[in-house]
Amino acid sequence: MTKTEEYKRMAAEAAVEAVKPGMVVGLGTGSTANYAITRLAKLLKSGELTDIVGIPSSVPTNDLASSLGIPLSTFADHAKIDITIDGADEVDPDLNLIKGGGGALLQEKILAQASLRVVIIVDEGKLSDKLGTRFPLPVEVVPFGLHTEKRFLEGLGAKVTLRENVIAKPFRTDHRNLILDADFGPIEDVRALAEKLEHRAGVVEHGLFLGIATEVVVGGKNGITRLKKNG
């Protein structure tokens, strides 16, 4: 295991400590979130944790959690989520995030907005002074609007790439949409950019998660650091 993977695992296991019996838990998507899911399953199997249900943010997360024996549910039965644990691609000092590297940004944002608490888990390499410094911004678009939304993003100053899957075909989200990875470089005004994207009919969702994280758990060479809103 590389140091980065070890830091991810450390952060995930520290975040899972917040899960208590009886909770509804939002399950994120991606390599870091998978460490949290694996830890939850281990605690359930050992009996150290009981009586929880998970709501997955993607088909891969659903499949992993099911294979590990985590009971799953939906919003039809649970209007609110007690805690969501998820990863992020980039985190700024105000705990704003870029997410969507795993392609599940729409459902991840739905989960987060329905959660009483959102705990983000990252390795220390995901921290930056400004969003966009380390990672392009994923933008989910409907296929019909692919070319017009690509030009729109380019008009805002981004270098835009259509995301592909492992066989070099366009990546499709769980809802069969496409993802444009928009490299803006360091974003000076994340809220202004988010507002522009939210007014575009062809944009289903964007990967700017602003004011959503309750806490960010960071794994690094010095152990675990917890970053919280308002210090």
Do 19 and 114 lie in one domain? The reply is: yes
Task: Tell me whether residue 132 is in a domain.
Answer: no
Do 122 and 147 lie in one domain? The reply is: no
Residue 37, SS3 per DSSP? helix
Do 116 and 8 lie in one domain? The reply is: yes
Do 105 and 167 lie in one domain? The reply is: no
Mean pLDDT for back-to-back runs of 10 residues, the chain (231 residues): 95 98 97 97 97 97 98 95 98 98 97 97 97 98 98 98 95 97 98 98 98 97 91 48
Looking up residue 83, the CATH number of its domain turns out to be 3.40.50.1360
Do 31 and 54 lie in one domain? The reply is: yes
CA distances, 113 to each of 12, 48, 81, 139, 150 (Å): 20, 28, 9, 18, 27
Do 121 and 158 lie in one domain? The reply is: no
Task: Tell me whether residue 22 is in a domain.
Answer: yes
Instruction: Give me the number of domains the chain comprises.
Output: 2
Do 18 and 104 lie in one domain? The reply is: yes
Task: Tell me whether residue 226 is in a domain.
Answer: no
Task: Tell me whether residue 147 is in a domain.
Answer: yes
Do 101 and 121 lie in one domain? The reply is: yes
CA distances, 16 to each of 44, 181, 209 (Å): 12, 30, 21
What global pTM score does this model have? 0.95
pLDDT at 230: 65
- Say how far apart CA 105 and CA 124 lie, in whole Å: 21
Catalytic residue among 108, 140, 149, 205: 108
- Say how far apart CA 196 and CA 84 lie, in whole Å: 27
Looking up residue 141, the CATH number of its domain turns out to be 3.30.70.260
pLDDT at 227: 97
Do 78 and 153 lie in one domain? The reply is: no
Do 48 and 152 lie in one domain? The reply is: no
Do 43 and 141 lie in one domain? The reply is: no
Task: Tell me whether residue 154 is in a domain.
Answer: yes
- The verdict on whether 108 is a catalytic residue reads yes
Do 115 and 141 lie in one domain? The reply is: no
Domain extent, residue 145, equals 137-202
